[in-house]
Structure 1
Amino acid sequence: MDPNGNSQGFFYTQDTNFYKSQAGAGTLKAYHRASRLARVDYGMRAGTELSTQAPLHVNFGYTGRCEGVTCPTPNGDVPAEFLCASSGTCTTYSPTFFTFYRLQTVISQSLTGSSYGNTDFWTFFHAMPDPGDGTKPALWLGSVIHQGTNLTSATGGWITDPAVVFSGQTLHNRVWATDGLAPFDRYRLATIKTATGASIQVTYKAAECSQTNLPASAETNTMRCFPQRWTPTTPIPQPARTDHFNIYPVERVTSKAGPGSAGAWTWSRPTATSAPRHGSTPPRNTSPALPGRTSPGRRWPDGHR
């Protein structure tokens, strides 16, 4: 609700899971494993949210992460081994949080009389591209298609825009070392092709750290990498260890007009000409997706991720 009494309502769908309490010696306990936004009502006045229909709302549709996506395993990147039923054997001894779903559609609707009519429709298409380093792939948003209601035609229907397409490039998450462990390649956004045919290109700063160029200590670290304690599980399980992991700030964004147009613009990250902006403040942990990670993820200063 805003200061003028306008309000919005958010509605969620929850998924339940169970775990064996007291390190496996207790009873099965239920908890909400995941929540996903199902609908947003807006254009309402304070106090009327549950008694009247909202003038406008947005519906969110979901499907399985591997529905329409080529997954390396039946469950893709979902840790299904942590699922437990309300009865029977359960070897999960604490709550775990994950989802089997991915966002597939967003539909906006407006109230006409006592029923809702469609206005805009977005469809999201995903993939699980192979990172190429032997690690598990992660879900990647490949494209979005927007459709609008055709109000000028006697037969109605939809007017469909060309797809907005997202292309990526793989970069090493882990500071590379020839030690038999993967560099944890992960996709970063590289190019966006817009519905009008324009191209937006993203350029990242190169990795600053290497095995011969690492921060002297975590407390005074101002480099573009950070130490992380983790437990390797591939290709074979190994003891916990500390490695350094890269971050890649955006250095430049270039937009080029589509066919039939001319011109382009470029945004570049300002270059420091004096002391580092962070001074002696060390960058804080922002862990990538790691098996066996032993400390919580945190945010970097200046929005670096």
Structure 2
Amino acid sequence: MDANEVENAYFYDKFVNHYRSIVGTDQPRAYDAGSYLTRIEYGRASQIPGALLPAKVELKCVGRCVERMAEADPLGDEPPPCPGISSNPESYPDVPTDLMYDGTAADSDCAGMTYYPTFFTTDMLWDIKTYVSNDGGNTWNPAMQYQTKHGLPNPDGTIGKTLWFDYIQRMGYGDGPDQRLPVINFNGEWLDNQVGACGDSG
């Protein structure tokens, strides 16, 4: 709530993982390994009785698989869903799939590997869509879409592929034709690690 008593509500989803606990009884314990914002509701004037909700933002998160990142035009073409992570771990090169445990006795991958919680997510932000409503949220009219594109560059060394924010592109909606705006690129530069080694006088 802001100084004018206008409310904004934030909604989150979470990724639940398990680790193996051997204190007392050897058993899996659930914990929240990661979370992400899914929706924001804007502008409810709480000081006015019967005030209606005028605007919202929806954030869509999807699996961070190589198949989805291969789509050349994510704003124009929705790619198919990612393959299952348990059966296709190679599709998720920057996700620590060896630390994922579903909490069942059948999941033997947990044995001897995950004695402590680890924090990560298997998803990435796919798009952000904004909406306005004239009837308190019964119907929503799209206003703007922010489409992201990610990559998995492989830096020199032993780190391996890492999720990279490649670009964002916007689509505007209104009474006339939809307006597709130019891409905004995020270009990177490879740099040496800045952590000094033993004996480094620099």
TM-score, normalised to structure 1, is 0.52
- Contact kept, 8 Å, 1:23 with 1:93, in 2: the verdict is no
Q: 1:39 to 1:148 in 2, by over 3 A?
A: same
Matched with 1:74 is 91
Q: Tell me how far 1:211 sits from its aligned partner.
A: 5.4
- Aligned counterparts of 1:54 and 1:23: Cα–Cα separation in 2: 49
Question: What does 1:127-166 align with in structure 2 at a 5 Å threshold?
Answer: 127-153=151-177, 158-166=178-186
Q: 1:80 to 1:47 in 2, by over 3 A?
A: farther
Q: 1:97 to 1:120 in 2, by over 3 A?
A: same
Q: Secondary structure at the match of 1:167?
A: coil
Q: Looking at CA atoms only, which structure, 1 or 2, has the larger radius of gyration?
A: 1
- Contact kept, 8 Å, 2:142 with 2:174, in 1: the verdict is no
Number of residue pairs matched by the alignment: 175
Question: What does 1:160-239 align with in structure 2 at a 5 Å threshold?
Answer: 160-175=180-195, 212-214=200-202
AA at the equivalent of 1:74: S
Q: 1:47 to 1:13 in 2, by over 3 A?
A: farther
Matched with 1:35 is 35
- Contact kept, 8 Å, 1:148 with 1:159, in 2: the verdict is yes
- Contact kept, 8 Å, 1:175 with 1:211, in 2: the verdict is no
Tell me if 1:112 matches 2:134: yes
Structure 1 residues 211-234: Cα deviation after superposition (integer angstroms, max 9, x where no partner): 5524xxxxxxxxxxxxxxxxxxxx
Matched with 1:93 is 115
AA at the equivalent of 1:57: K
Matched with 1:218 is none
Q: Tell me how far 1:24 sits from its aligned partner.
A: 9.2
Tell me if 1:8 matches 2:8: yes
AA at the equivalent of 2:4: N
Q: Tell me how far 1:6 sits from its aligned partner.
A: 0.9
Q: 1:52 to 1:85 in 2, by over 3 A?
A: farther
Q: Tell me how far 1:61 sits from its aligned partner.
A: 0.7
Q: 1:212 to 1:95 in 2, by over 3 A?
A: closer
Matched with 1:62 is 61
- Aligned counterparts of 1:18 and 1:162: Cα–Cα separation in 2: 43
- Contact kept, 8 Å, 2:54 with 2:133, in 1: the verdict is yes
- Contact kept, 8 Å, 1:19 with 1:28, in 2: the verdict is yes
- Contact kept, 8 Å, 1:19 with 1:94, in 2: the verdict is yes
- Contact kept, 8 Å, 2:7 with 2:44, in 1: the verdict is yes
- Contact kept, 8 Å, 1:7 with 1:42, in 2: the verdict is yes
- Aligned counterparts of 1:23 and 1:84: Cα–Cα separation in 2: 18
- Aligned counterparts of 2:116 and 2:160: Cα–Cα separation in 1: 24
- Aligned counterparts of 1:47 and 1:86: Cα–Cα separation in 2: 46
Q: Tell me how far 1:25 sits from its aligned partner.
A: 5.0
- Aligned counterparts of 1:147 and 1:43: Cα–Cα separation in 2: 23
- Contact kept, 8 Å, 2:45 with 2:52, in 1: the verdict is no
- Aligned counterparts of 2:47 and 2:98: Cα–Cα separation in 1: 44
